[in-house]
Amino acid sequence: MSDAVILEEALRQFFRQQRSVLVALSGGVDSSVLAALAASELRERALAVTGVSASLPSDELAEIRRFCARLGLAHETIETHEMSRPAYVQNLPDRCYHCKSELFARLASLAESRGIECVVDGTHVDDLEGHRPGRQAAAELSVVSPLVSAGAGKEVVRSLARKLGLPNADRPGSPCLASRVAYGVRLSVPRLAKVHGGELVLKRLGFPDCRVRLHEAGDATIARIEVPPAQLARAVGNASAIAQALRELGFTWVTLDLQGQRRGSLLEAFPVLPA
């Protein structure tokens, strides 16, 4: 029996034990698998909800809506207001805690108002590695992570998504836009829009899995581009087009990170994190 089959049965069994479930649907493959299986097992007692703010690009929200329509999932959106939280805007290494606190508090309130007993998210075991302040917010607000309970990592989740025929099974991960802004640079809608615009440029040039990290030095704005290591040479070959397009977006300098795309690169400026 394959790992994907084992995971599917574990998740179906989890949902059968719930009276009703609200799935925090980010649009990634992990929460998409949960939303699909929750709907399959619970039908009208399952609801997928997406938090909408400046950190979620409009094209990603449109993709989430297409996904839910294709699968016939009950789906709603709810506005989140993390930008009204000074600790979030300050953008220190605990930023994700303040973001998730806002999201999960609003989801918990919605669930309570609808009589929904359980809120779940798509965190998997690979997400537990490294610096993950958002996990504290999930614990404080009793958000359940069925993929963690099942011991599932990213690759088996993708395998299950393929087995289920989900259209986003191989979609690259896409954390919120705030995760692209260097810690200590205050978050703002224009800065997030600049990051989004830069990544749209790269995607149009054939780099679907990319990051544009925004750094600032005085009045200068730096775009530090990350692509998978195997695509570095091709990025160099497109250097002129990339640089011109990003400079038109307002970046002063455009750079390519020669280490390639990786998790936690913004933390490299914080060798010792605050307790």
Q: CA of 260: how far to CAs of 131, 210, 217, 229, 231, in Å?
A: 20, 9, 22, 5, 8
Buried-state track 111-146, b at ≥16 Cβ within 10 A, e below 16: beeeebebbbbbbbbbbeeeeebbbebbeebebbbb
Tell me, which fold does domain 177-269 have in CATH?
Alpha-Beta Plaits (3.30.70)
What is the Cα–Cα distance from 114 to 134, expressed in whole angstroms? 25
What is the Cα–Cα distance from 161 to 157, expressed in whole angstroms? 6
Please state the pTM of the whole predicted model.
0.92
Which residues, in sequence order, are bridge partners of residue 254? Answer: 223
Secondary-structure class of domain 3-164 per CATH = alpha beta
The pLDDT tens digits for 59-111 are: 999 999 999 999 999 999 999 999 999 999 999 999 999 999 999 999 999 99
The pLDDT tens digits for 144-169 are: 999 999 999 999 999 999 999 999 99
Domain coordinates of the chain in residue numbers?
3-164, 177-269
The token pair that represents 230 in the structure block: 């195997």
